[in-house]
Amino acid sequence: MSTCHGRLAELIRFTAWLTAHGVTSLEDLTDQDCDAYLAHRRYPRDKDGAVVGERGTGTRRLAALIVTDLLNYRDLFTADRVPAGLRPWGGATPSAIAEDTKVRQNKTPPAPDSVLQPLLAAALHMVDIVGPHAAELAEQVRTADQGWSVRADGLTPTTRVPLAEITRVLADYEQAGEPLPLLEDRHIQDRIDAGWSAKDPLTPIALGVLSRQAGFRQFYSPWLPHLRGPAEATLKAVGAERPFGRSAVPIARADGEGNIPWTLPLHRKQATALVGIVHTATLITLAAVTGMRSSELMELQVGCRLPPEEYGPGLVRYRLASKLVKGQPLGGVRDEWVVIETAYRAAALAEQLHDDPVPGAPLFGRFHFNSRYQWFREWVNGPEGQRLGLAPIPEDRLNMRMLRRRLAIEMAYRPGGLLATKIYLRHVSTATT
């Protein structure tokens, strides 16, 4: 409050000084007037007009701040305002003008182009092109977990050989032309270590999955001689493959070099990891194009997308409901963010990828951005990312503050952008911006 009173008092002092020096309209303000006022506030004089000292940097900074405020908030003035081309002191900050070396400057560098361009391109490709298929994959994993995972409900323990039931499951595979499920390599090795032959065609087959699909909790090795005939016959007819992501539809490579299946067949852990990569892509997209702080992204919930508002042909406003946390009372205050359609789509996809998308559940929950970014970068730079034609991301430092600073710079240097950036990023004043 004292800061506001100080600025108001300085503004009154400034306008009175202008009037006394023949400047009756803000539109007539010149760089020379600003220099003269700063000198007036910097050097106190006696009754004869002689300089008797020098005021502190705080006074000088406040004098410069009033002038820059009139520039930064120019768009709010309608009856009278400073000239659009006014650039006193070469556009320097009030602290630099006052020669105040004690004022802390923003040392966070903006995200460099060399990192931001491939990062955002990869994230958008994963959200817009891969995302819908990843949502289907996430649903496949959830359905499998409910129906035939080791944790599925309704499975029956048994010691008898369920020949008829498993034979029916094998017949369903043959009728659908669906390959039998493969085990992960480590489980195949476990079988070999337990005495199974590496040359046995059934060693890599996920017989436990077939048992659970037949309604039984576990597969027992003594059943194998009884089931070998029908199992090998089905294997010969349809083959075997990893259970998730089969028959993936083709998508365009990110580099334009043709079309490829959006994924190769996957084991469950690989499938959940891929869903996690796409989920991280939604987080990176939101962080990069909204400028939301990590605390504000953590407050996003399932159902945060407010209904779009159409203001005319092609003019649609998209909003996300969150909380403003920084500088607010404990628990934050509810707030809304106006975002571009890209961010709105990313939030929608994050909901689809959610493990339990009930309204009000945290969309991202607590997260460590640096870890997730490194994981995403390694995946993009690895075999799968290169298969999709994604450009490698350099191993330079990047954090959410750098993304936010880059967005602020991109917005602020547009016409009227400084005030818009101040409002959008929830800064206390344009001096912060």
Lowest mean pLDDT among 225-239, 283-297, 311-325: 311-325
- Residues 247-273 have pLDDT tens digits of 999 999 999 999 999 999 999 999 999
pLDDT of 90 above 90: no
The most distant pair of C-alpha atoms in the chain lies apart, rounded to whole Å, by 115
Q: Label residues 358-371 b or e (16+ Cβ within 10 Å = b).
A: eeeeebbeeeebee
pLDDT of 429 above 60: no
Rounded Cα–Cα distance for residues 72 and 95 (Å)? 16
Residues 6+ apart with CB under 8 A from 302: 351, 354, 357, 358, 359, 360, 361, 362, 363
User: Strand 305-312 vs strand 259-261: parallel, antiparallel, or unpaired?
Assistant: unpaired
pLDDT of 424 above 60: no
- Residues 327-369 have pLDDT tens digits of 666 666 788 888 889 999 999 999 999 988 899 999 999 999 9
Q: What share of the chain is helix, strand, coil (3-state, %, to 5)?
A: 50, 10, 40
pLDDT of residue 329: 66
Between 164 and 90, the more confident residue is 164
The winner for highest mean pLDDT among 25-39, 121-135, 136-150, 296-310 is: 121-135
**pTM given for the model:** 0.75
DSSP helix/strand/coil, 324: strand
Evaluate whether 294 touches 369 at the Cβ level (below 8 Å): yes
pLDDT of residue 9: 87
Rounded Cα–Cα distance for residues 427 and 431 (Å)? 9
pLDDT of 425 above 60: no
The winner for highest mean pLDDT among 36-50, 80-94, 354-368 is: 354-368
Residues 6+ apart with CB under 8 A from 356: none
- Residues 111-130 have pLDDT tens digits of 899 999 999 999 999 999 99
Once rounded to an integer, what is the mean pLDDT over residues 52-57?
Answer: 84
Residues 6+ apart with CB under 8 A from 62: 6, 7, 10, 41, 94
